[in-house]
Homo-oligomer: A and B are copies of this chain.
Amino acid sequence: MSEIERGRGVALWSQISGILASDILKGQLRQGEQLPSAQELAMRFNVNRHTVRRAIAALEQRNLVRTEQGRGTFVQEQTLDYVISRRTRFTQNMRNLNVDADIRVLEEAHELPPPPVARALGLDRNEYVYRVETLDRADGHIIDYSTSYFPAARFPDLPALYRRLLSVTRTLAEFGVADYERKHTRVSARLPDATTARVMQQQTSRPLLYVESINADTRGVPVQYGITRFSGDWVQLVLMADH
């Protein structure tokens, strides 16, 4: 266990706050879990209850914990509410969430689609697709790792454009697809395989929300088939019926 040092220029409450914060961020204190009472922490760190309270107040400020009078202090569930509706737009979603999003393209490929992908996009097995893999972050946390397939014939040289615009909506708009909507969405809970866990920098024991979706243009022709693996620890899907 980490110890605190007096008279070293760092306030005790700040040291305690740091220790608890790191426990939370490293996942040693899990989401929703109750922290020891202020009294207990005071004994453990050999300080006054008020000092512990000061430390906890700082954590509350950072939205890492939530205190409930009479109950205790709990590790705040860091759920990023990702809204899924017929007209879901990732970039728009992130903007609404008021977080600073960071989209990174991991890989691009021009290839023949695996059978399920060909089926989803309504393509023949010998019609090429572009595959684009991206890693999306919000506030520094990895939110999702996504694999998208686009019909190559209809959207020539799409990856270059996407890499520049970093938005599916705007990329498709450049090709004249002014609007598209979710035709199909499947959600399941899975554990990541070794590769996915590595890419997402998370343990293989932490679950993912595995979302499979098809976007189609206004005439119902599929323009994108994608698999998005959301971090189960950070993301919660909110389903909206839209009208």
Contact = CB atoms under 8 A, between A and B. Distances in A.
Interface of A: 68, 79, 81, 84-86, 115, 182, 184-191, 205-210, 230, 232, 235-239, 241-242
A236 B186 contact: yes
A84 to B, nearest CB: 7
A100 B189 CA distance: 24
A191 to B, nearest CB: 6
Given A207-B232, A232-B207, A79 B241 contact: no
A184 B79 CA distance: 16
Given A84-B239, A239-B239, A241-B86, A232 B185 contact: no
A230 B205 CA distance: 18
Given A205-B205, A232-B207, A239 B188 contact: no
A186 B241 contact: no
Nearest to A237: B187
Nearest to A234: B188
A204 to B, nearest CB: 10
9 contacts: A86-B241, A185-B239, A189-B189, A189-B190, A189-B207, A189-B230, A191-B205, A207-B207, A207-B208
The 3 closest A-B pairs by CB, nearest first: A189-B232, A207-B207, A189-B189
A190 B232 contact: yes
B188 A237 contact: yes
A103 to B, nearest CB: 22
A241 B242 contact: yes
